[in-house]
Amino acid sequence: MNWKRAILFGALIWVLIFFEVSILMFGLKMQSGLNYYLLHYISVGIIVLIVAFLYFKGKVKGGFKEGLLVGVIFAITGIVLDSIITIPLFMNFDYSFFLDIYLLIGILEGVIITTIIGSVKK
């Protein structure tokens, strides 16, 4: 696994999701509810799918284990960035944000999609 590449692509996912959530919350005035989560999880799936394809493009090794490991690195990178940017700036240092079931579902979605993409990479 290329650690630097995985961390950089994980940061890219975090940035794209940050903009996606900002557009939903401030542009479309959606704070929560079924429509918000439906659009959010579809968008997250597309973002992770595209970035995972980009990560596994080229001479990067594929396989189930590699896909799972890269998915976990993507998730850890997002958690670290949320810890140092999102929580202090937008959540008033409320780290219980990480116990939100909707956040955990999004993280799991990203790991599953990345694992699948890694598995189909020959």
- pLDDT tens digits for range 91-115: 888 888 889 899 999 999 999 999 9
The answer on pLDDT for 24 being more than 90 is yes
Cα 72 from Cα 113, distance rounded (Å): 11
The H or E element containing residue 96 is none
The answer on pLDDT for 122 being more than 80 is no
Q: Measured on CA atoms in the order 99, 87, 112, 47, is the torsion positive or negative? A: positive
Cα 106 from Cα 122, distance rounded (Å): 26
